[in-house]
Amino acid sequence: MNQIVTLPLVATQVSLGPVFAATGDDARLIELAGELQRLRGLCRQRSTEMSECDDAYRRPERPPVLMPRYDDEDVRPVPVSTTIDGRRVEWCREGDIDALRDRTEFHHWHFIGTPEQWDEFGLSSWRNNQRLPAGAPADLFLSLGDEYRLKRAMELIAALDAYREADVVARRESGFDAAERALQDVFKEESAVFEEMMELKPTTLEGFRAVASAVVNFCWLGEIEDGDTKDQQMVARMLSHLTGIEVS
């Protein structure tokens, strides 16, 4: 299992009454609440499909070149445990590698000032000659260039690109990407239906029951949980009375 997939609860069916019994906004609310129940069931189906694809998805192994080296100055390590044998392995941060893409020069700075200037700017604590010390004028240093760091940066970028490309192929072949898009499409449909319902004003009991059904199915994933405070508990009971769903 490579992804954590949260499966939404199946839609809780609520008897909303016939559409012909209401008119105007109430009729539309009842219709939309029914559509929301249908979409919640479809959401459950799409989530199951994505979970199955996730089981089939196998993330490619990272190339060893992406492991940090003792002399890496431009990337930081991230400890992760992803190896098959369970060993804990550190990898270079992908964000740090991506930041190297805009770098065309790497400097190895050499101090060319006087001993007095060395003392004036407190350079006795300057240990990293791959970066200019803070507060000291740049004209006191000569860049000798750093071909090793440039080569290492290009090596990291190429390795990361190859790994990401292999991951894209693995996700596509497992069907995970397509299943994820299908689930997101359902989420968008649900959201659009709920947004429309928010613009309508119920005036009958059936209209208010439709709104309550939408809140429970869209916002609370089909369950009504008791609250910690009196007002939350009262809201939970109100929704329960309107939908017929027991408070859990």
pLDDT digits (tens, 9 = 90+) for 11-33: 455 555 554 456 789 999 999 99
Given the structure tokens 């929704």, which residue do they identify? 239
The pLDDT assigned to 226 comes to 86
Dihedral angle computed from the Cα positions of residues 141, 147, 148 and 150, in that order, rounded to the nearest 10 degrees:
100
Cα–Cα distances (Å) from 46 to 86, 99, 183, 198, in that order, read: 32, 36, 5, 25
Model confidence pLDDT, tens digit, residues 59-71: 888 899 999 998 8
Mean pLDDT of the chain: 84
Is residue 232 situated within a structural domain?
yes
d(CA 25, CA 27): 5
Residue by residue, what is the 3-state secondary structure of 139-183?
A: HHEEECCCHHHHHHHHHHHHHHHHHHHHHHHHHHHHCHHHHHHHH
Q: Where in the sequence is the domain holding 225, given as residue range(s)?
A: 19-40+187-243
| Residue 86 pLDDT level (bands cut at 50, 70, 90) | low
160 domain-assigned: no
pLDDT at 14: 53
Q: Say if residues 217 and 227 touch (Cβ distance below 8 Å).
A: no
* Number of independent structural domains in the chain: 1
pLDDT digits (tens, 9 = 90+) for 87-105: 778 899 999 999 999 887 7
Give pLDDT, residue 229.
92
81 within some domain? no
Residue 3 has pLDDT above 50, yes or no: no
5 pLDDT band (50/70/90 cuts)? very low
Residue 150 lies in a domain: no
Q: Judge whether residue 121 has pLDDT over 90.
A: no
Assigned domain for 108 exists: no
Q: Tell me: pLDDT of 159 over 60.
A: yes
Cα(74)–Cα(87) distance, integer angstroms: 25
| 81 vs 200, residue with greater confidence | 200
Rounded distance between C-alpha atoms, residue 66 and residue 155, angstroms: 9
As a whole number, mean pLDDT of residues 119-141 equals 80
Chain segment 191-235, per-residue pLDDT in tens: 999 999 999 999 999 999 999 999 988 888 778 888 889 998 899
pLDDT of residue 19: 46
Weakest mean pLDDT among 5-19, 37-51, 83-97, 116-130: 5-19
What separation, in Å, do the N-terminal and C-terminal C-alpha atoms of the chain show?
A: 31
In which element (H, E) is residue 110 found?
Answer: strand 109-111
Within-domain flag for 197: yes
Whether pLDDT at 76 is above 60: yes
Integer-rounded Cα radius of gyration of the chain: 30
Of all residues in the chain, the percent with pLDDT exceeding 70 is 86
Decide if 112 is inside a domain: no
**Residue ranges in 4-69 assigned as alpha helix (H):** 24-56
- Residue 172 domain-assigned (yes or no): no
Helix axes 24-56, 176-198, angle to 10 degrees: 160
Report the pLDDT value the prediction gives residue 210, as an integer from 0 to 100.
93
